[in-house]
Structure 1
Amino acid sequence: MAGRAVCRGAPAIFRHVFFGADDPEQARIFYDATFGALDIGPGTPDAKGRYVYRHGNALFVIGRPIDGQPATHANGGTLGLFAPSQDALMAWYAAGLDNGGLPCEGEPTHRISPATGREIWIAYLRDPTGNELCAVYEVPE
């Protein structure tokens, strides 16, 4: 498909994700550390005081909510990230804990994905605002 981002051989579903943060600088420190563990460069500030992370054709943006209200997390919402290796997944988790993140759903674990039936390693964190993230390493078949 011309003009569309590709992820693992299929067109990507997302162009960008935006998370609100009451303290964008604190969020930048967290995301610079956790994304850095996944080989994603640091966020760059834009003209509105947001931080933009670029990976391929996808964008992840953090900043104060546009409506001026306090940032809140999505109850039941999780942003899943690909980890290139088990070591990267563990580094992501450690970086998050060291930079204002909180553990959720227990320690990193090895299991079979109920969604894909594939063997995975998975770890969950909450960012400083309370948004839930997970990193997933799919073990090669």
Structure 2
Amino acid sequence: MLSHVYLGVNDFTRAFDFYSMLMGTLGMKLRFRDDAKPWAGWQSPDAARPLFLVGTPFDGQAAAPGNGQMVALMAPDRATVDRAHAAALAQGGTCEGPPGLRPHYHPDYHGAYFRDPEGNKLCVCCHTPAILPATC
């Protein structure tokens, strides 16, 4: 359904460092970085789309996060949700909701919420049941 998501940032270097860490935690690969614009994009290693992009706004004005806007990124499992949230906070993000089940969305929804250093709200979530340990 999505081609790409673009988040405007004011401090591209700081944003690039933050999102490089976050995308790496989620297993995404850097598709490009152009410091002249400046902007950068990541993608899944096995698909050309969708792209996740960060950069300065096209119109040259200051970037500002919107009220009610959020980008939710898929994680392959619950442990990755937890790691991504911890890594985001370690890179200067702020917590908007710790990792955990949100059964009011559905029984297996495990999500974490945070803001990047620019104030953009993000979620990392997993929709699959926890893997249960083998029993004898």
Q: Given the two structures, how large is their TM-score scaled by the length of structure 1? A: 0.82
Out of 96, 99, 123, which is 1:108 matched to? 99
Q: How far does residue 84 in structure 1 lie from its aligned partner after superposition?
A: 0.5
Does the aligned pair in 1 maintain the 2:85–2:98 contact within 8 Å?
no
Out of 15, 27, 30, which is 1:27 matched to? 15
Q: Does 1:120 align with 2:109?
A: yes
Partner of 2:42: 53
SS in 1 for 2:122: strand
Does the aligned pair in 2 maintain the 1:118–1:139 contact within 8 Å?
no
Alignment gaps of 5+ in structure 1: 1-12
In structure 1, what is the Cα distance between the partners aligned to 2:79 and 2:31? 22
Q: Does 1:44 align with 2:32?
A: yes
SS in 2 for 1:119: coil
Alignment gaps of 5+ in structure 2: 131-136
Alignment of 1:54-133 (within 5 A): 54-55=43-44, 56=47, 57-104=49-96, 106-114=97-105, 117-133=106-122
Give the paired residue count.
126
Query: What is the one-letter code of the residue matched to 1:48?
Result: K
SS in 2 for 1:92: helix
> How big is each residue's C-alpha offset from its partner over 1:7-58, in whole Å with a ceiling of 9 and x where there is no partner?
xxxxxx1101111100111011111111111111246313522111122221
4+ residue stretches of structure 1 with deviation over 4 A? none
Once the two structures are aligned, what percentage of the paired residues are identical?
A: 34
Q: How far does residue 113 in structure 1 lie from its aligned partner after superposition?
A: 4.5
Query: What is the one-letter code of the residue matched to 2:60?
Result: G
> How big is each residue's C-alpha offset from its partner over 1:42-77, in whole Å with a ceiling of 9 and x where there is no partner?
463135221111222211111111111111001101
